[in-house]
Structures are given as C-alpha cells and as structure tokens.
C-alpha cells in the first residue's frame, strides 16, 4: 500500500487500461469519465472514503472508467496481486467482497453499470474471478455454472456454513435441482444432518426427494450404475 497525492485534473486511472491497482480516496474528490462517440462524459463522482478502480481489479476486466481528480487529492494505492494474496487466506472475506460489489452495482441503477454487472456475473459464473468463493455462496445464488467450476477445482462437496448447513441442504431448501445434481454427483453426503446452533428440519436427501416428487419428477435422482452420472 502506498499513499499518493495528485493535483487537480490529474488522471489516476485511464479507461481500458489493465487493472493493476485500485485506490481508496483519503482526501479530495474525483470524476468518473467514459469516452463515448469521441467525447468524454462524466458519469459519476467519488469522494473521501470511496474506492476507485475496484471494479476492474475485482472483476479482472479492463478499467471501465477514467478516474480524474477534481481537486488536490490524496489516495491510497493498493496493488491487485498483493490484495488478492491477503484475501485468498479467507473465503469468508472473498464472499463478503463479491456480495458487496454485486449489490453496489445493482443499487446504482445506472445504465452505464448494467453491462458491467452482466459481465461481472458472467465471469463469476465461469469461475474467472480470483476471489476465494465457496459452494454455499454459489448455491445460495442458484448459480449452477459457478458451482460446477468450484466442484471441478476440488472443493469439498460437504462443506457447510457457520450454521452447519451444507450446500446440498441449501439447494434442496431453495428447490434448485440444477445445484443438487452436481453436488450429489461429486459426492455430497445425502444423509448428513444439519449441525450447529440453529436446527434445520430434514436431511438433504429427503428434502431433495420431496422437492422432486412435488414437481412430478420422480426418479430424476437415480444414479446411473455406469460412470456415476446422474440421469436427467
């Protein structure tokens, strides 16, 4: 981390540059600009305490905006690689950061952010984010593509949250067959009971079976004897 001072009208980040760093604005103010039809347009402003350049860094995409100071400003520079090395030690931190980023983009309700949100969610689903994420996060989002990517990386299909709920418990309670099938295929324990301070009813296998029966899809959980693949 390094504190830097920038004079007014100074470009801190350029649109479309590689996402190597992001900044915390300690003092001052900056404009967010995009180039459209050959002319720059101001689409937002960041003030003391705000982040600058975090979208490009966290989503690993080219910076979507030019960040230009409006006045003398002091910013704290954080290197992407160093930041990710710190975050990799905690899955919980990675989940919080990603949830906050997606929620922030949604709350902006800005047409300029809609494409960024779509691209970020697409990259997330394809497992192209460098933040540490887990199966429970993917299942709660109903994101079966991300779930497949995480399972292929070797994550434990029986991992649980702080309340003892496994990803299969969550998939069953949410009615998500698309998430339940890959979890079972990769060895999620269907007889495991939920543990922890909170008590949740049922076992994941029973929840999933009841769910499928309610939808008139009996037998979809039958596993093929050859290759251990699920018949759909």
| CATH number of domain containing 189 | 1.25.40.20
147 falls within a domain: yes
pLDDT of 121 strictly over 80: no
pLDDT of 205 strictly over 60: no
52 - beta bridge partners?
23
69-106 per-position pLDDT tens digit: 999 999 999 998 888 888 777 777 777 887 788 887 77
Q: In which band, very low, low, confident or very high, does the pLDDT at 218 lie, cut at 50, 70 and 90?
A: very low
163 falls within a domain: yes
For residue 7, what are the domain limits?
Answer: 2-88
- Indicate which CATH number applies to the domain containing 83: 2.60.120.10
- In total, how many domains does the chain have? 2
pLDDT at 169: 86
Average pLDDT over every residue of 133-148 = 85
pLDDT of 227 strictly over 70: no
Q: Say if residue 218 is exposed, middle or buried (CB neighbours under 10 Å; 0-12, 13-18, 19+).
A: exposed
Q: Is 42 helix (H, G, I), strand (E, B) or coil?
A: strand
Say whether both 82 and 8 belong to one domain. yes
Q: CA separation (Å) from 95 to 25, 143, 199, 207?
A: 23, 14, 24, 26
């Amino acid at each position: 981390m390094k504190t830097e001072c920038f004079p007014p009208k100074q470009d801190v980040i350029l649109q479309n540059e590689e996402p190597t760093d992001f900044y915390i604005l300690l003092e001052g103010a900056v404009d967010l600009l995009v180039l459209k039809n050959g002319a720059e347009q101001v689409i937002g402003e960041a003030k003391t305490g705000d982040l600058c350049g975090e979208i490009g860094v966290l989503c690993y995409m080219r910076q979507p905006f030019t960040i230009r100071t409006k006045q003398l400003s002091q910013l704290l520079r954080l290197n992407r690689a160093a930041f990710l090395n710190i975050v990799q030690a905690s899955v919980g931190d990675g989940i919080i950061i990603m949830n906050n980023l997606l929620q922030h983009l949604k709350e902006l309700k800005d047409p300029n952010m809609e494409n960024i949100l779509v691209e970020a969610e697409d990259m997330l689903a394809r497992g192209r984010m460098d933040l540490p994420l887990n199966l429970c996060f993917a299942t709660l989002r109903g994101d079966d593509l991300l779930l497949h990517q995480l399972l292929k990386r070797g994550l434990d299909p029986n991992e649980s949250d702080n309340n003892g709920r496994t990803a299969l418990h969550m998939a069953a309670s949410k009615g998500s067959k698309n998430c339940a099938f890959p979890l079972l295929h990769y060895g999620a324990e269907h007889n495991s009971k939920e543990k922890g301070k909170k008590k949740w009813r049922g076992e994941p296998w029973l929840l999933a079976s009841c769910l499928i029966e309610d939808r008139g899809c009996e037998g979809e959980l039958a596993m093929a004897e050859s290759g251990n693949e699920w018949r759909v």
